[in-house]
Homo-oligomer: A and B are copies of this chain.
Amino acid sequence: MATSTRFAVAIHILTHISLRHGQAVRSEDIAHSVNTNPAVVRRILGALAAAGLTQAQLGQGGGALLAKPVAQITLLDIYRAVEEPPTFALHRVPPNPDCYIGRNIIPVLESEFGRLSAALDDALAATTMADIVGRVEANAGTPYRADGV
């Protein structure tokens, strides 16, 4: 199981917006930081906005803003916003119902995969964007400057 890069990019995007402290950030500026296309950033921002994590300021001087305080945005919120469930996939084609194992293993897998997903959710919920932003600044050693360099 490999997640898409959307989760990592979404965290990057939210970190970028967070460090601007309420100033709207253009998708083009974020794209420059992420090293990708503005439309890719807007697509992910669309998912984050649908989940109530960000909001868009249209028009001149507009851009993306946080819709919630950084301490109230968990990695679980972000993960659910940008990654398609399920995390653990069952058989592409259902197993043979005429076989003892094929007939009985699906509920066992569903239950076990549910337990694994719940464990992952717990781990994801334990970190907020406030933690991430704090670690990025700690890693940099210097505070973020308005020019972003």
Measuring CB to CB, which residues of chain A are less than 8 angstroms from any residue of chain B?
Answer: 1-5, 7-9, 11-12, 15-16, 19, 32-36, 75, 83-96, 98-105, 107-109, 111-113, 115-116, 119-120, 122-124, 127, 132, 135-137, 139-140, 144-145, 148-149
Q: Are A116 and B120 in contact (CB under 8 A)?
A: yes
Q: Are A35 and B95 in contact (CB under 8 A)?
A: yes
CB neighbours (8 Å) of A91 from chain B are 5, 8-9, 12, 34-35
Q: Are B4 and A89 in contact (CB under 8 A)?
A: yes
> Which residue in B92, B95, B107 is a CB contact (below 8 Å) of A12?
B95
Chain B's closest residue to A13 (CB) is B101
Majority-rule SS of A interface residues: helix
Give this chain's copy count. Answer: 2
Q: Are B116 and A8 in contact (CB under 8 A)?
A: no
Q: Are B132 and A112 in contact (CB under 8 A)?
A: yes
With contact pairs A104-B139, A104-B140 given, residues A4 and B1 touching in the complex (Cβ less than 8 Å): yes
Can you list 22 A-B pairs, Cβ within 8 angstroms, ordered by A? A1-B7, A1-B85, A1-B87, A2-B83, A2-B86, A2-B87, A3-B86, A3-B89, A8-B89, A8-B113, A12-B95, A12-B102, A15-B101, A32-B96, A33-B95, A33-B99, A34-B91, A35-B95, A99-B149, A103-B140, A112-B127, A116-B120
> Which residue in B3, B4, B100, B120 is a CB contact (below 8 Å) of A145?
B100
